[in-house]
Structure 1
């Protein structure tokens, strides 16, 4: 049975048998950084039109729309569109294009979704839809011409970008700077120091290429042809000397960076670091001595009130600030929403050391084009992201607009920032940033920051700098890392049952980076030199592939049922015992380091580690109790809903597909057709969607990598690769009759099994229904 249970192990927990079905396994949670970069752009375009692919003009319009917003999702089925929209995050911001007739039907259902911010009725006869459209406030326009639609969306994009920019404006109170740092100041300081880290090569090595960013785009949009084309274009045309061009020309790269800066997205800013450094270099090269500029800015009543209450304080712009040398014309016509007010920002800037750079766009572009003449009186001045301004004047005009005068300042104006930057520059201690994130109550960002450092720092340095705990902080402290031991779990994800997965997730959340989890043994480097003792929890196969030098310095615990393969002291024949052993070892080493810290006089760390050690087994006991409470004895609900899905090109007119939909529509629960592999995949793996799926894919038009992904979805029972033009192949069905036969045969077996399961539960009504479906299918098989 493996290593004997320690005295600290949870008592009275019934162990699952070692042959627990792997179908109950839960995936190891995504890392925080993966979750943070799921959406690359601020806006998404969605277009619903029953004939969207029947018109060449629509395809041309799609391409042009993607020049403004890369992520465009199209639908020709209202129900699918409705489901997709309802499952989007409320944080998304969607521009929705719909025909007049479809709009009548779908807007009553989706209009009030928070994610939808603008709606466009695109139809041949706008006059037919004016009356009913008045009931929907999010409708921006009713349009019949493509050019008008493009112009309207571009205007609205600029308008909504301006509103989003207001969310990236922060106020810093001008209070006694010697006081203990409060939440407001720590939130300001960590971002300023993080920008310092990103823009300097003295802390971590400068990125030599954009490879990491391109890998991220591939990870999240590997099936999206437009993003793949974007990568190809970028690789061919990007030049660091033209970084400003990429920033000002509404490129996807600019949209990625704008969103990342506005939301202070640590992961994306690490991946976009090369772009930030290139822009920063150009701004420094063309730094202006002074500037007097203007900007129109929409602000909410909350923004207005904050500035009114802090008239002698400071404003910080998270992102790049675009301004004009000429005062803009403005009126209340610029505002489409009564919750926003118009503010004319006037900025005075004289460059001094310690200031973020600012430069004229026209000079940079003209210099790059070998043309120093600039006859345009109106020039665009860009201020580097993170610029700080002193509020000089804030007053209301007679027409409910506002004037805001600002003056650019340097670090020396804020001693608290200057001191922190000097400390960072002298010590190179990056844990200062992690500590500030902790103290600003942003633990998740602190984890993400540490996760990236572990990848970027040299292997002979601590992957995650220890976080110092100030006694006065009110933020809930993050568990201290073990100084002398590194726990590694790898190659176990496919063996985890529900209980073991929940235990592992709990242990990871409690122990910070002291426990590293990998899906595959190939994901971690066993040759990495480390001063820490390593405890590896893995399978026999993975452990055997590690290097001898790694085995000599590591203690290995192995999941293996065969007693002849592994030494008894190392072997565990079921996953739960192995995870219990992991908990025991974590307890042991946290207690050992607590005693060591206590001897060295670090009572704070000693107390925290001892408390954590004592919580480990009690938390696992809670996990067991929660799972036991939420688990239905040994008879889970039978899912009898069965869906038939076809993934095929829009123009595929193969009659076999149409015939099969007709034959089976009254037998299966649902029949769906998809043309886009990504949409199909998203529909099947939607959390609320649990039907058993039989999927036919016409593989002529889809990548093998896309098809393979479907086979890993738990609710996809059968996947049929169909290609009538293919030669005989064991994996591909090329004969329509064979396709129908195999599909019908598998459905008969499926419904027979369901009938038998219902019989065993004495549920005769449902059993009869399943057997009748199987009988209908038998008749179809015989008749055809």
Structure 2
């Protein structure tokens, strides 16, 4: 949302007014990943069990029997969406050349009876991950690949603050993102809000046995002390909370605010005690990389929670996935963070709260502010190293602007 042309009063009004509106179709888009299956012989009855297994990996599932209809649907999806596609051999031969260059298409699996017959044409397209003849192998392959792709392919909603300029333009978006979370977290949650959130999620995951079971457990057993445990589980909670934060869906963030607050409280309780250096492997667009290179020594923030590792090699593992798109760059974020600089946005090692303890996972709050120190290509390979340093609200040019904006919203600064 661009706030560059709004006065302070208009900003205040817009922030609150937009919170309270009825559930829309946008609220049903709780994940960025799609799974599309194109096969002229696909039937609902024969594939009910298969659909359940696939939706336990990627909930948003759609079947097509017609190439043109499928292609039109894919082309109309946002470049912020991520599409994983299964196609029969014959229909794949028709459609792949038309959709292969689309940013939203990240991987394709050819599921057919004759592997050798389709290998020749399929080998020309890097996004085709495999040609598979067995269903169990197909599902296993998608699951293994998705465990990596869901990390490196998740879009980073990066906002940049340029010092020495007004709060218009790009700075207006930065300020809006900062104030949005602070504003919403001040509003007390009610049981009605939580009921509405559960209702929306149940509607979005209807027919998904795996996630409906998780939703039932969440509805009946969630407690604030288990917020990080829920966040580390590979369920609807992790997928949806970051998706709505990235898209700045104000209505859904409003409904999630209690759970964001619970995570913030647990991060504060488990705050890292000494300075650390952490890493995150990521794929970003060439345009995004260029934008970052042009704004070294400026301040950036990201709209969602940021998960990182103290183990550089572990972070680099995610970058070993073959990059099949010419407009994507492999980057390694290298972040220095000192707990003494943190004020309202804590960060913590959440490994002990994980459903699967092991390794060291450091989680940062949405809106954490970093100074972008350098963007340089690694000497040994094609990975770009992006070095950042965590800032506090007290030690950079944003203090005056942020304080003013928070005062406009009440109880600030």
Q: Identify the residue that residue 334 of structure 1 maps to in structure 2.
A: 321
Shift of 1:417: 4.3
Q: Identify the residue that residue 255 of structure 1 maps to in structure 2.
A: 239
**Aligned counterpart in structure 2 of residue 232 of structure 1, from 193, 209, 216:** 216
Q: Identify the residue that residue 34 of structure 2 maps to in structure 1.
A: 44
Q: Secondary structure at the residue paired with 1:37?
A: helix
**Aligned counterpart in structure 2 of residue 34 of structure 1, from 21, 24, 28:** 24
Q: Identify the residue that residue 190 of structure 1 maps to in structure 2.
A: 176
Alignment of 1:384-783 (within 5 A): 384-398=365-379, 399-417=381-399, 419-421=401-403, 424=406, 428=410
C-alpha distance 388-244 of structure 1, shift in aligned 2 (>3 A): same
Shift of 1:110: 6.1
* Structure 2 residue 195 is matched with structure 1 residue 207: no
String of CA shifts for 1:459-502, please: whole Å, max 9, x gaps: xxxxxxxxxxxxxxxxxxxxxxxxxxxxxxxxxxxxxxxxxxxx
**Aligned counterpart in structure 1 of residue 263 of structure 2, from 275, 279, 289:** 279
Please give the TM-score of this superposition, normalised by the length of structure 1. 0.44
C-alpha distance 328-195 of structure 1, shift in aligned 2 (>3 A): same
Q: Secondary structure at the residue paired with 2:312?
A: coil
Distance across 1 between alignment mates of 2:185 and 2:328: 34
Contact in 1 for aligned 2:30/2:204 (Cα 8 Å): no
Q: Secondary structure at the residue paired with 1:393?
A: strand
Contact in 2 for aligned 1:36/1:267 (Cα 8 Å): no
* Structure 2 residue 74 is matched with structure 1 residue 90: no
Rg (Cα) greater in structure:
1
String of CA shifts for 1:506-555, please: whole Å, max 9, x gaps: xxxxxxxxxxxxxxxxxxxxxxxxxxxxxxxxxxxxxxxxxxxxxxxxxx
Structure with bigger RCO (C-alpha 8 Å, 6+ apart): 2
C-alpha distance 405-137 of structure 1, shift in aligned 2 (>3 A): closer
Count the aligned residue pairs: 380
* Structure 2 residue 166 is matched with structure 1 residue 180: yes
Shift of 1:132: 2.6
Q: Identify the residue that residue 141 of structure 1 maps to in structure 2.
A: 130
Q: Secondary structure at the residue paired with 1:276?
A: helix
CA RMSD, 1 decimal: 3.3
**Structure 2: runs of 5 or more not aligned:** 1-20
Please give the TM-score of this superposition, normalised by the length of structure 2. 0.79
Contact in 2 for aligned 1:193/1:421 (Cα 8 Å): no
Distance across 2 between alignment mates of 1:335 and 1:355: 39
Distance across 2 between alignment mates of 1:225 and 1:298: 29
Shift of 1:240: 2.9
Contact in 1 for aligned 2:161/2:174 (Cα 8 Å): yes
C-alpha distance 312-157 of structure 1, shift in aligned 2 (>3 A): same
**Structure 1: runs of 5 or more not aligned:** 1-30, 431-784
C-alpha distance 172-419 of structure 1, shift in aligned 2 (>3 A): closer
Contact in 1 for aligned 2:278/2:309 (Cα 8 Å): yes
Q: Identify the residue that residue 559 of structure 1 maps to in structure 2.
A: none
Distance across 1 between alignment mates of 2:197 and 2:378: 46
